Structure 1
């Protein structure tokens, strides 16, 4: 593979990561505008590739009146997701000649393609199952997974361009493992909170509805076998169940913040890691502040959208810290081996 093609792959992977973040934000904006069912079918809108006029929409789906602004928001989100699929296909085509080369991340590209296909299925089911919270939550997690794979692919391609060997698969330690699990759990709780419209179920902070221990219903709040079929726009759970979900999201935020703070403290002695750790700490503090502000200000549209952006930034920064820890560890070991070898040959 010539240098120009490899440079194109690196650029595409970076653009893909940033573009995925844009698609996630467009999806969040669609959800916040209650436009998730702006088009009652998939992949078209009232049977068309563009939003039709009111009479055509009425003929196609008489039980789903057309709201043109919401329909266009939903279709723009789909168009953007389609562009993302084209990017991944372009990556595969450009990388095909190199697929058998040692150290080339071909399997990672195939994982990215598979993740995007699954994400497309979640997008379809989000509409056909009428915003079923389980699917909406998985759709959010899928988008963040695609973004993470793009980031990891870009970093791998940078190593290939520098002629460096692929990183050996080494665990990053128990603390990073716990932090990873808590991050995934908190992202899932955020999606569950949003999809069940529980963002302001707890009013006030740090108390919830002026209570430290509010009335809750954990069984109903996390009843993962909800009936498929009802329209879940605006949610279908009672107040105590939504309070439970919101409270769980707050507790998850506390646990994740403590875990990430420990990661920063434990790794701070490594000077080469400090810029990345500061980025992670800043992203964590920003996300916590946005969460609190959303509660106190009753979930205004702009702040709610920024909270999703904060989650994207947190995943970005955490992925970079994980990569740098892994890369730095190998680099240090390599230097140590070279030093020992130098003494032996002296």
Structure 2
């Protein structure tokens, strides 16, 4: 159906579209959560048993104890529609790439990992509704969305490298990726932990548990209940809209997110210091830290200005950008698709 060259270009283009679409889906998911529309449709995958939002009479007959709020229902369904479109893109990538799965350099494994991730995300989307915004599921759903975007971006980079190597008849093929230093593993682990803390803060409605910045409720170390705030075996069943935790538990979650940001910032500075001598890495690492600094500023303004919707969405966009920048930084550091790197880089990255 497609010529070889056309299929390669289509795969590259689809993976880029998927990366952008995933970012949009995550942002719409954040908008859904911030407008309290997560339970706008009490069932899944339909809305009051329909594929489109029904009228109030149909909704009342289907679920009498959940009155229809049209705006919230349409926000939730819009999120589901575009998430479904993202699944179609993943299926198209797998089907188009299946004939090339045995080619040297073709990222078939990444394609399958992306397919598995999107299936898991669909399940988390269902559980988010059926378990009534249980914080554990909501947090994992956010992390899953960020992981899907990271996989899409990694697949795009791999497909570009593959297409270049084929079109140049091997000129684009490079040696095995360089091994990264332990600082990269620490930075990635802390970034994932910080993203999880952000999701936990949001899903437990702890964003305003601390008033003021850099202090929390006028204190550097306020009253906090860490055991309750990070009790991961919360009861399944209550409606978690607006949260179920008391004030001290929410303060602990909020402060945990702040402390996580501090740990991540120190690690990123160490990463920059450790690899400062690598000229090719310096710009991407500085840009990564600049995005981190922007996230800290936006987080502080969210607290000071009482979590306005627009700024909260910008904070989510910053998390997406952090993931994208980390993926690009790792790609650069590993030297994939970058022939002719100096030995100094190999020595630094392998140290």
**Cα 1:31–1:196, aligned 2, differ >3 Å: closer, same or farther?**
same
Q: How far is 1:327 from its partner?
A: 1.1
The CA distance in 1 between the partners of 2:281 and 2:178, in whole Å, is: 18
**Cα 1:202–1:144, aligned 2, differ >3 Å: closer, same or farther?**
same
Q: How far is 1:272 from its partner?
A: 1.8
The CA distance in 1 between the partners of 2:99 and 2:309, in whole Å, is: 47
Matching residue of 1:6: 8
The CA distance in 2 between the partners of 1:11 and 1:330, in whole Å, is: 21
Q: Which runs of 4+ in 1 moved over 3 A?
A: 164-171, 328-333
Matching residue of 2:287: 279
2:239 to 231, 255, 260: 231
The CA distance in 2 between the partners of 1:147 and 1:168, in whole Å, is: 25
Q: What CA deviation, in whole Å up to 9, does each residue of 1:102-128 have, x standing for no partner?
A: 221111100000000001000000000
Name the SS for the 1:41 alignment partner: coil
1:65 to 46, 64, 67: 67
Matching residue of 2:302: 294
Given that residues 103 and 166 in structure 1 are in contact (C-alpha distance below 8 angstroms), is that contact kept between their aligned partners in structure 2? no
Matching residue of 1:83: 85
The reply to whether residue 141 of structure 1 matches residue 143 of structure 2 is yes
Q: How far is 1:274 from its partner?
A: 2.7
Given that residues 35 and 70 in structure 1 are in contact (C-alpha distance below 8 angstroms), is that contact kept between their aligned partners in structure 2? yes
**Cα 1:127–1:47, aligned 2, differ >3 Å: closer, same or farther?**
same
Given that residues 40 and 64 in structure 1 are in contact (C-alpha distance below 8 angstroms), is that contact kept between their aligned partners in structure 2? yes
Q: Normalised by the size of structure 2, how large is the TM-score?
A: 0.92
The CA distance in 1 between the partners of 2:222 and 2:83, in whole Å, is: 40
Name the SS for the 2:281 alignment partner: helix
Q: How far is 1:329 from its partner?
A: 10
2:273 to 244, 251, 265: 265
Matching residue of 2:261: 253
> 1:37-116 maps to which residues of 2 (within 5 A)?
37-116=39-118
2:225 to 217, 231, 247: 217
Q: What CA deviation, in whole Å up to 9, does each residue of 1:125-151 have, x standing for no partner?
A: 000000000000000000000000001
2:326 to 315, 318, 325: 318
The CA distance in 2 between the partners of 1:216 and 1:255, in whole Å, is: 20
Given that residues 22 and 149 in structure 2 are in contact (C-alpha distance below 8 angstroms), is that contact kept between their aligned partners in structure 1? yes
Given that residues 48 and 63 in structure 2 are in contact (C-alpha distance below 8 angstroms), is that contact kept between their aligned partners in structure 1? yes
> 1:133-212 maps to which residues of 2 (within 5 A)?
133-163=135-165, 164-165=172-173, 168=176, 170-212=178-220
The CA distance in 1 between the partners of 2:276 and 2:316, in whole Å, is: 28
Q: How far is 1:328 from its partner?
A: 6.5
Q: How far is 1:67 from its partner?
A: 0.2
Given that residues 159 and 166 in structure 1 are in contact (C-alpha distance below 8 angstroms), is that contact kept between their aligned partners in structure 2? no
Q: How far is 1:275 from its partner?
A: 2.6
The CA distance in 2 between the partners of 1:6 and 1:239, in whole Å, is: 54
Given that residues 174 and 337 in structure 2 are in contact (C-alpha distance below 8 angstroms), is that contact kept between their aligned partners in structure 1? no
After superposition, the CA RMSD in angstroms is: 1.5
The CA distance in 2 between the partners of 1:269 and 1:169, in whole Å, is: 19
Q: How far is 1:260 from its partner?
A: 1.2
